[in-house]
Structure 1
Amino acid sequence: MTTHTATAVLVHGAWADEASWDKVVRLLHARGIKTVTPRLPLSSLADDTATLNRALEPIEGPIVLVGHAYAGAVIATVQSPKVKALVYVTALAPDQGETVADVFYRNEHDDKAPKLAPDADGWIWLPTEAFGIAFAQHATHAEQQALAAAQLPISPACITVAVEQPLWKSLPAWYLVAEHDHMIPEKTQRFMAERMHAHISAYPMDHLPSVTAPERVEAIIVEAIEHSKA
């Protein structure tokens, strides 16, 4: 087993928690790659950035940041010099002056995409049935049930604030495009990946490949670590 000096920090998006990375973590550990899986509060982009910054502080050595979905915006807001590369897993990558909502709604969603709106307390939840239709349709029924039970809602404050200059403008980026994604259209993913000049891989996966295609996620993280000489 080769021991890598880089730490892969795996950041969950909306409606999933850090356990959604478990399969990828096991694969990376088998390669000798250290991992950290922080939990975001999903209360605002500023809160999530602060949480991620705190998680990065004690890590020694280089870091490769990996973000799923909404977390693509979060990983691009940190400024730690330890970060050497960014990996986007079906993730959102707003440019300076854009919000997460701007890129999320850039292209029309298909008829399997869920309708999203805040509840009476101001949180956006994913409808339970959406886990099997749009979010992780390639997962087992048991996995879909577990995801729905553990889902973390997101605040509109996460997706309606314009970002500052994103880190992908100064660091190498990798992007895993999910061709069967009903949450973020493939066309939108490719637009963002091409705009950031990312190293692009594309497969017929759903929105949560960390659960349904973990080997694909592992491979792109390893590629980012090796090519960035982290």
Structure 2
Amino acid sequence: MMMNRRTFASALLAGAAASLISTRSMAATTPPVKARNVVLVHGLFADGSCWTEVIPLLQAAGLNVTSVQNPLTTLPDAVASAQRVLDRQDGPTVLVGHSFSGMIVTEAGVHPNVSALAYVAARAPDAGEDYTALAKTYPTPPASAGIVFDGDEGRLTEEAFLRDFAGDIPEAKAKVLYAVQQPFHKALLTGKTTHAAWRSKPSFYAVSTEDRTINPDLERFMAKRMGATTIEVKASHLGLISQPGAIAKLILDAAGAAK
């Protein structure tokens, strides 16, 4: 007998708890509004397809899901691309960001359709904060040494991508992800947020404990500062691919839809 969609989602998510090191609620002041939509945003060294392991889990739970194609040009351009997708949503929406796109979630998350925010090993600056300066107060993660530039466009070398970005992904699959890596513009890294949506919206954060792209202790600091409901996942920077069940469950919690 075939399982229905919700039973299928429950079965796929059942193993998520085993991948979590700890779960803690850090002062979420109000429970999230029940959402019907999820908007996902990717970070550097990736494209919208990086969410393909998480998307079917959310869809099987009955959520409408859209993965934004981040232009990776400037922060205003990236925020605008997310805002256009948010404008199309027909009700409460969880806005989710991985890695650099935490900047986008922090800025665009003030959109009236956004009911909750979810950060996956992501940047989470305060309004006007110099994220680069904040990151320098922690040991530099290994992936930083693997960034190379062709003029104004930056990317990770294959060695750094496989070792420091996708370290817990099978090599053959990691090489496919490397092949679709999108270069980012230097100007993207100079942008600063003007809003901090996490100050007014329920926030959720997944820390990747084996992260070699963003320092895990920096992730913990940002999650604690925003009062996020936080999980820790034994994963590389790509926990959304290596531990999709855990990440999907966090998003379902943010959507008020977890069972």
What TM-score do the two structures reach when normalised by structure 2? 0.82
Q: Distance between the aligned counterparts of 2:55 and 2:178, measured in 1?
A: 21
Taking the TM superposition and a 5 Å limit, the aligned residue runs for 1:65-144 are 65-78=95-108, 79-110=110-141, 112-115=142-145, 119-144=149-174
2:225 counterpart residue number? 195
Asked whether the equivalents of residues 97 and 122 of structure 2 are also in contact (C-alpha less than 8 Å), the reply is: yes
Higher strand share: 2
List gaps (5 residues or longer) in structure 1: none
Structure 2 counterpart SS, 1:177: strand
Query: Among 207, 214, 221, which residue is 1:177 paired with?
Result: 207
Alpha-carbon deviation of 1:102?
2.9
Letter in 1 for 2:149: D
Letter in 1 for 2:106: A
* CA gap 1:106/1:154 in 2 versus in 1, 3 angstroms: farther
Query: Among 82, 90, 109, which residue is 1:52 paired with?
Result: 82
1:220 matched to 2:250: yes
What per-residue deviation string (whole Å, max 9, x for no partner) do you get for residues 73-104 of structure 1? 10111132110000000000111221342344
Q: Distance between the aligned counterparts of 1:128 and 1:99, measured in 2?
A: 29
Asked whether the equivalents of residues 233 and 243 of structure 2 are also in contact (C-alpha less than 8 Å), the reply is: no
Alpha-carbon deviation of 1:159?
1.9
Alpha-carbon deviation of 1:165?
2.4
Higher helix share: 2
2:239 counterpart residue number? 209
Q: Taking CA–CA contacts closer than 8 Å with sequence separation of 6 or more, which of the two structures ends up with the larger relative contact order? A: 2
Whose Rg is larger?
2
Asked whether the equivalents of residues 35 and 257 of structure 2 are also in contact (C-alpha less than 8 Å), the reply is: no
Alpha-carbon deviation of 1:227?
7.5
Alpha-carbon deviation of 1:106?
3.3
What TM-score do the two structures reach when normalised by structure 1? 0.92
Letter in 1 for 2:113: K
List gaps (5 residues or longer) in structure 2: 7-33
RMSD: 1.9
Q: Distance between the aligned counterparts of 1:25 and 1:105, measured in 2?
A: 33
Structure 2 counterpart SS, 1:115: helix
1:145 matched to 2:175: yes
Q: Distance between the aligned counterparts of 2:218 and 2:127, measured in 1?
A: 17
Alpha-carbon deviation of 1:171?
0.4
Question: Identity percentage over the alignment?
Answer: 32
